[in-house]
Amino acid sequence: MNNIAAKLRARRAQARTRREVSRAIDTATSSTVRQELIAISQARHNHMR
């Protein structure tokens, strides 16, 4: 049971991080910043945007 709860927490944290990164990319002030955010997120997590 504890393992299931830990997996759910981890999944929620990943979803929260994905939403925050997507929001940061969408609200980036310049295309350079946007491209940097995309590159960083792709380097760290292949499943992100």
Going by C-beta distance under 8 Å and a sequence separation of 6 or more, which residues neighbour residue 17? none
| Residue ranges of domains in the chain | 2-44
Q: What is the pTM of this model?
A: 0.69
Q: What is the pLDDT of residue 12?
A: 96
Q: What is the pLDDT of residue 43?
A: 85
* ∠ Cα 4 7 10 (to 5°): 150
> What does the pLDDT look like over 1-49, one tens digit per residue?
689 999 999 999 989 988 999 999 999 999 999 999 999 888 876 654 4
